[in-house]
Structure 1
């Protein structure tokens, strides 16, 4: 749990790529493992679990919830339901960022190719080296373990500073860009962090880092073998002098919740500027008008948190105030998606309306003009989507989009009166073609509607009223009539 209690560190999920550029794969039949995967799909994703609190051992859990294990003869299986001694591995990082995995029990190294994998090598050779490809959604908040502060684009916008108590606003959004086994840190304005602390437009050797893990935390090593760390009073993020990662060089990636503003029927923004009461009475979009939207995993209801850490809550006579510090029934709201506008239903079963004085109250039995709000997403100027089968990216040979790729494309998103327009890497716009596929070569922008449906996942509805989904062939289509797993996207 982070220092502010809002976010949790993300579970480290990744693919392991061998010397033949094939992914380690966990098969459902017989709990066998091989290195035959050509891309990172569900079967190629592994979750890292720490062993003892202070120990170096780790466990690798497959998508089936079973653990990778090696017996005394080096035979590899992935059927263990519990973390037995044969499931304990040591990560031996190499200078190029690759890992060697050593059985803690038998002291042999894991490697091989195709169906011939074993953990019997006494020394590390090329077949025993694995490149690490993170499978997390790459947009996150970056927390310094030592300083307990978050990285954000500085006020002068010339550096990344690690001095924020909470990750608030678009400036705190970090995008990890993966290329050829290295990672770059991209800011919300599409610049890359160089090892000298400067922000630059081009992704070069100086902006590329190898990823290392230590006690479940991340370290970023630059091309000269030095590590990123916060330096000075403002915590300028740059490569320091250290050639070994200590506490100062360690970071957590934390989930970046959506942060939104609401505009009432009176065309004014909902705010906490006036104190405890929530009122639509402001003409600006500042931190006081921005709320973090957190979707409860079990009940799929929304909670809205202020920068000061207080939740919206229903109080007597239906009034909405920002006084709750804990999550309870009165802090949960149902969101009804109505195209360009949304309606909010409080725990008393009444809809939230904007009164004549701007005060928000849950007193309405039905949705009329006063119960409608425009919702605007503030901290996602760029969009990366991951569905149940992989990331969304441009098709290699035509103008359509794939929804099953292990490498993602980054799309630009602009707001338009309750809707969003999405621009591809070629500067052209997304649109839903007449026969279903989503295309990315539009000359004119088309509106799409984001619906925050589950924790960390959205549905996207096209102008045709249908949801975008990943079909069985791996294409992105705009023909979903209802929301199921194929229509939900990490964003």
Structure 2
């Protein structure tokens, strides 16, 4: 399943599609305090599009709404979400964080215009992307308490009790040392451990938030890439350590929900049995 997210404008409201295809920006529903249907989007690649990633890390996608239609732009700059298939007017170039502010910039490929807010309306008729009105900030649709999985290594991020570095060496996301909190700051994402420390781009732990802890969240299908504020991507070396690298050698990650855990201690043998639930099933580990 593709990763779903909300797009937060500089005005503090989310890109929203109505059932009739109208596009607007609206705040979170105060009664549920989370993104609702119509505020959730995902990126889809056009199967007929052979364009590869450009030198500035931007890629061509279609934006798919949870209302079942694709975002579209006509020649007048009007933005709607009523297309059932991907065509020229549904293709967008998504530039994630290259402006040094953690934001996405979204350009219509068909009309070479940028999507933004003008007079409280969502339009795609601006030729320049320098204004803050053309910036969109990603908010992933996932509970902030999650586990970070390295797709290639097939290991979860783990905070060693006595170690100084985050390592990807956990096969099962068990206990609080694999639990991370996804937070947002200045348009960027950041990760906080259960011990209250932040993770830097080199996998170190620091007590307070610094620029080295800020990541651009670049969504690709059901995975995310992490890019630091300097434009370098995160990867995982053979020892399971985070490192900074180029776009070509980047690693992809998946955020997994943190499942409920309980721990039992047997009086007979004096051993601990660890029990956790996943998708309605219980698993144990001694």
Mark yes or no: TM-score above 0.5.
yes
For 1:284 and 1:70, how far apart are their aligned partners in 2?
62
Deviation at 1:175, TM superposition (A): 1.4
For 1:248 and 1:32, how far apart are their aligned partners in 2?
37
Structure number with the bigger relative contact order (C-alpha 8 A, sep ≥ 6) is: 2
Deviation at 1:247, TM superposition (A): 4.2
For 1:189 and 1:246, how far apart are their aligned partners in 2?
33
Report 1:44-59 matches (<5 A).
45-52=39-46, 56-59=59-62
- The equivalent position to 2:250 in structure 1, one of 244, 248, 251, is 248
> 1:101 aligns to what?
106
- CA offsets 1:221-278 (integer angstroms, 9 cap, x no match): 33443333324x42222x42x3x43343332212332233457xxxx37xxxxxxxxx
- Aligned CA distance change for structure 1 residues 283 and 65 (closer, same or farther; 3 Å): farther
User: Is 1:34–1:114's contact at 8 Å kept on the other side of the alignment?
Assistant: no
For 1:292 and 1:82, how far apart are their aligned partners in 2?
42
For 2:239 and 2:173, how far apart are their aligned partners in 1?
15
Alignment root-mean-square deviation, CA: 3.0
- Aligned CA distance change for structure 1 residues 202 and 182 (closer, same or farther; 3 Å): same
User: Is 1:27–1:43's contact at 8 Å kept on the other side of the alignment?
Assistant: no
Deviation at 1:49, TM superposition (A): 3.1
- The equivalent position to 1:170 in structure 2, one of 155, 176, 187, is 176
User: Is 2:44–2:63's contact at 8 Å kept on the other side of the alignment?
Assistant: no
Residue 72 (structure 2) pairs with residue 69 (structure 1): yes
Any runs of at least 4 consecutive aligned residues in structure 1 with deviations exceeding 6 A, and if so which? none
For 1:170 and 1:36, how far apart are their aligned partners in 2?
35
Report 1:317-466 matches (<5 A).
none
Aligned to 1:206, what secondary structure does the other structure show? helix
- The equivalent position to 1:284 in structure 2, one of 259, 271, 275, is 271
- The equivalent position to 1:148 in structure 2, one of 148, 154, 168, is 154
Deviation at 1:215, TM superposition (A): 5.6
User: Is 2:28–2:35's contact at 8 Å kept on the other side of the alignment?
Assistant: no
Where does the alignment leave 5 or more consecutive residues of structure 1 unmatched? 1-9, 270-280, 296-301, 309-491
- The equivalent position to 2:139 in structure 1, one of 121, 127, 133, is 133
Residue 277 (structure 2) pairs with residue 293 (structure 1): yes
User: Is 1:176–1:186's contact at 8 Å kept on the other side of the alignment?
Assistant: yes
User: Is 1:23–1:44's contact at 8 Å kept on the other side of the alignment?
Assistant: no
For 1:155 and 1:211, how far apart are their aligned partners in 2?
27
User: Is 1:91–1:101's contact at 8 Å kept on the other side of the alignment?
Assistant: yes
Aligned to 1:31, what secondary structure does the other structure show? coil
Deviation at 1:114, TM superposition (A): 5.0
> 1:210 aligns to what?
216
* Range 141-150 or range 210-219, more displaced: 210-219
Report 1:183-262 matches (<5 A).
183-214=189-220, 217-231=223-237, 233-237=238-242, 239-240=243-244, 242=245, 244-261=246-263
- CA offsets 1:453-488 (integer angstroms, 9 cap, x no match): xxxxxxxxxxxxxxxxxxxxxxxxxxxxxxxxxxxx
- Aligned CA distance change for structure 1 residues 64 and 84 (closer, same or farther; 3 Å): same
In the comparison of the two structures, how many residue pairs are matched? 270
Aligned to 1:290, what secondary structure does the other structure show? strand
- CA offsets 1:293-314 (integer angstroms, 9 cap, x no match): 123xxxxxx3212459xxxxxx
For 1:117 and 1:222, how far apart are their aligned partners in 2?
29
User: Is 2:69–2:84's contact at 8 Å kept on the other side of the alignment?
Assistant: yes
User: Is 2:142–2:257's contact at 8 Å kept on the other side of the alignment?
Assistant: no
For 1:293 and 1:34, how far apart are their aligned partners in 2?
40
Aligned to 1:171, what secondary structure does the other structure show? helix
For 1:185 and 1:282, how far apart are their aligned partners in 2?
38
TM-score by length of 1: 0.49
User: Is 2:201–2:213's contact at 8 Å kept on the other side of the alignment?
Assistant: yes
Where does the alignment leave 5 or more consecutive residues of structure 2 unmatched? 52-58
User: Is 2:43–2:219's contact at 8 Å kept on the other side of the alignment?
Assistant: no
